[in-house]
């Protein structure tokens, strides 16, 4: 054997660009697929959060009942911080309005690591929110998503007024109007309070959007691993009223 061949045998072989891309793609597929092997290798930091969609909803609403009655549990945040250093496994995800009066963690009397929360004025599912919900379902195994609207929503009210007056709002606020406008226009055909109807329709529309979001969320719904529903938070009482599921 020549000296050069002998040297080559002892030299580390640098991976090709194609092989690097292959392994990166494979790793991403495993992460998004949430394989059983990965789950077996690492126990969830909060085992009590491993629930079915129905059990997750029951737990969520029991928490809201405690919050409404003023008997919220005392949470050991020190222990929860320690348990969650290495990961998370929230039992529910919430798409909520950014309104300062709406705090899902309080409204459902939850501890750290229990809820995966996305908040935006008008609680609508934009591209980034859909991606975030895909992450919590595919990677973290979250079995429940709630779209949480609330009464007297300023974003929905501003959309109604902007469309009525045909007057664009300043800055980047028109992006909120564009997202909420379909619900406002659909609700305009309904009888009753225009704002209340639009708030409700906006929740219904975004529940439908998340349930049908391919390829991750719709598949999880079809397989019975995920439930997506909507609710309205009442500012005066703190009660979350569930909307009838389609």
**Cβ burial, residue 8 (10 Å; 0-12/13-18/19+):** exposed
- pLDDT at position 117: 98
Confidence of residue 4 (pLDDT cuts 50, 70, 90): very low
- 45-66 exposure pattern, b = at least 16 Cβ within 10 A, e = fewer: bbeebebebeebbebbeebbee
Span 159-182, mean pLDDT? 95
* Residue range 9-41, pLDDT digits in tens: 344 444 443 443 333 333 444 445 544 444 455
C-alpha 236, offset from chain centre: 25
- pLDDT at position 17: 39
| Residue 148 host element (H or E) | strand 144-150
- pLDDT at position 82: 86
pTM: predicted TM-score of the whole model, two decimal places: 0.83
3-class secondary structure, 228: strand
Weakest-pLDDT range from 65-74, 124-133, 197-206: 65-74
Helix axes 194-211, 127-138, angle to 10 degrees: 50
* Residue range 127-165, pLDDT digits in tens: 999 999 999 999 999 999 999 999 999 999 999 999 999
Confidence of residue 76 (pLDDT cuts 50, 70, 90): confident
- Cis status, amide bond into 215, omega within 30 of 0: yes
* Residue range 224-234, pLDDT digits in tens: 999 999 999 99
Closest CA to 176 of 161, 192, 191: 161
| Pair of tokens at residue 198 | 């639009």
| Pair of tokens at residue 190 | 């309904």
CA dist list (Å): 66 to 69, 80, 234: 5, 20, 15
Return the higher-pLDDT residue of 95 and 25: 95
């Amino acid at each position: 054997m020549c000296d050069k061949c002998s040297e080559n045998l002892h030299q580390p072989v640098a991976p090709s660009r194609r092989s690097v891309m292959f392994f990166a793609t494979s790793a991403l597929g495993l992460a998004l697929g949430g394989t059983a092997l990965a789950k077996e290798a690492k126990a969830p930091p909060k085992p009590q959060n491993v629930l079915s969609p129905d059990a997750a909803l029951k737990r969520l609403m029991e928490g809201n009942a405690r919050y409404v009655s003023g008997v919220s549990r005392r949470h050991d945040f020190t222990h929860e911080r320690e348990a969650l250093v290495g990961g998370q496994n929230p039992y529910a995800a919430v798409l909520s309005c950014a309104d300062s009066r709406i705090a899902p963690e309080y409204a459902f009397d939850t501890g750290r690591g229990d809820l995966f929360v996305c908040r935006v004025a008008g609680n609508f599912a934009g591209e980034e929110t859909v991606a975030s919900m895909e992450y919590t379902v595919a990677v973290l195994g979250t079995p429940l998503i709630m779209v949480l609207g609330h009464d007297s929503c300023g974003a929905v009210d501003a959309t109604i007024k902007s469309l009525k007056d045909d007057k664009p709002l300043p800055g980047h606020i028109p992006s909120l109007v564009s997202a909420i406008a379909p619900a406002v226009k659909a609700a305009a055909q309904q009888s009753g309070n225009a704002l209340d109807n639009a708030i409700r329709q906006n929740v219904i529309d975004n529940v439908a959007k998340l349930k049908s979001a391919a390829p991750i969320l719709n598949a999880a719904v079809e397989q019975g691993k995920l439930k997506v529903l909507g609710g309205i938070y009442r500012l005066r009482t703190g009660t979350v009223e569930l909307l009838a599921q389609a």
